[in-house]
Amino acid sequence: MGEAIVITSGKGGVGKTTTSANIGTSLALMDKKVCLIDTDIGLRNLDVIMGLENRIIYDIVDVIQGRCKLQQALIKDKRFDYLSLLPAAQTSDKSAVTTEGMKEIVSELKQEYDYIIIDCPAGIEQGFQNAIAGADRAIVVTTPENSSVRDADRIIGLIEKEDMIEPPRLIINRIRNHMMKNGDMLDIDDIVQLLAIDLIGIVADDEEMIKAANKGEPISLSPNFKASISYRNIARRILGETVPLQSLEEEKGFMQKVKAFFKI
């Protein structure tokens, strides 16, 4: 019996989809059976970032409205045997999916897969309700910006009312170490203190991430980048490994190396 994890944030553009793709890929790298679900109906992106756009035949709305079987709509990843994607529809809107339909799909997928990663749309409306409906756990993504933290706070409040196994966990994305050090960005400790949930990982802002996304290759595939290691660490923590929160120190250490390299 697998576990469904929803990746959410409230605010748009903080990196939910990238995070979903990379956590899914990292889990697949560790030989887990993973299924990604894109619930951003009408604005699907996950297939693009995974580089699977051209393989879509059926989508989640087709499954819910009974035009195809679930297995037909699942797209197998080109790199891993046990990584699948259930794409969102591009032509319908979010009302085409119901919470009941979502729950059914997720529980069916849980029979076969170890992890179901649900990519949540921005906002707190129907799309969000659908995405969290079938989830057992939640990961909230935020960036070190006031507006994004504010929305994360709101989302955490909404998730806490749901019936989840544990309180949501936090990823702080797009960290620019030099800005954080100068106090131009919110501090990690301040964010964690305000949101009062467990930190599951931090990811540095990396130009490589944009390149990777454009190529349709999740960055976690190539171990040479710091962001890739961050995602892999997050995946290990999801598996229950205690990768000590040294990860924070690690990141800093790495950043210092980079700084030293550029003689800043």
Partner 1 sequence: MQETKPTITIKGTRDGLILFIDENSSFEEILQDLIKKLDASTPQKEEPVVSVKVKLGHRYLTEEQRHQLKGIIEEKNRFQIEAMESDVIPIKDAKTWLDESQLKVVNQIVRSGQVLETKGDLLLIGDVNPGGRVRASGNIYIMGNLLGIAHAGIEGDQEAFIAASYMKPAQLRIAEYISRAPDYEADGVYMECGIIDPDQNKIVIDSIKTLSKQRKVISAFERRMNNG
Q: Does 122 bind partner 1 (CB under 8 A)?
A: no
User: 10: alpha, beta or left, given left = phi > 0 and alpha = psi -120 to 50?
Assistant: left
Spatial separation of the C-alpha atoms in residues 161 and 37, rounded to whole Å: 23
Size of the site for partner 1 (CB under 8 A): 11
Q: Does 151 bind partner 1 (CB under 8 A)?
A: yes
**Does residue 18 have a known ligand-binding role?**
yes
Closer to partner 1 by CB, 117 or 195: give it.
195
Q: Does 179 bind partner 1 (CB under 8 A)?
A: no
Q: What is the DSSP letter of 198?
A: -
**Does residue 14 have a known ligand-binding role?**
yes
Closer to partner 1 by CB, 154 or 215: give it.
154
CB hemisphere CA count around 178 (13 angstroms)? 8
**Does residue 16 have a known ligand-binding role?**
yes
**Nearest distance in Å: CB 186, partner 1:** 12
Q: Which of 154, 211, 215, 259 forms a contact with partner 1 (CB under 8 A)? A: 154
Residue range at the interface with partner 1 (CB under 8 A); choices 20-28, 36-44, 95-103, 153-161 = 153-161
Q: Does 156 bind partner 1 (CB under 8 A)?
A: yes
Spatial separation of the C-alpha atoms in residues 121 and 117, rounded to whole Å: 13
User: 58: alpha, beta or left, given left = phi > 0 and alpha = psi -120 to 50?
Assistant: beta
Residue range at the interface with partner 1 (CB under 8 A); choices 77-85, 109-117, 154-162, 219-227 = 154-162
**Nearest distance in Å: CB 220, partner 1:** 31
Beta bridge partners, 204, equal 175
**Nearest distance in Å: CB 63, partner 1:** 32
H-helix segments, 76-215: 99-112, 126-133, 146-160, 177-182, 188-195, 207-215
Pairing of strands 75-76, 83-86: antiparallel
* Listed residue (206, 204, 198, 200) closest to 185, CA to CA: 204
**Does residue 253 have a known ligand-binding role?**
no
Residue range at the interface with partner 1 (CB under 8 A); choices 33-41, 52-60, 156-164, 256-264 = 156-164
Q: Interface residues for partner 1 in 185-204 (CB under 8 A)?
A: 194-196
Contact 101, 90 (CB under 8 A): no
Q: Which of 31, 71, 76, 157 forms a contact with partner 1 (CB under 8 A)? A: 157
**Nearest distance in Å: CB 206, partner 1:** 29
Q: Give me 127's structure tokens.
A: 């799309």
Spatial separation of the C-alpha atoms in residues 108 and 198, rounded to whole Å: 29
Q: Does 236 bind partner 1 (CB under 8 A)?
A: no
**Does residue 8 have a known ligand-binding role?**
no
Binding residues: 11-18
Interacting residues toward partner 1 by CB under 8 A: 150-151, 153-154, 156-158, 160, 194-196
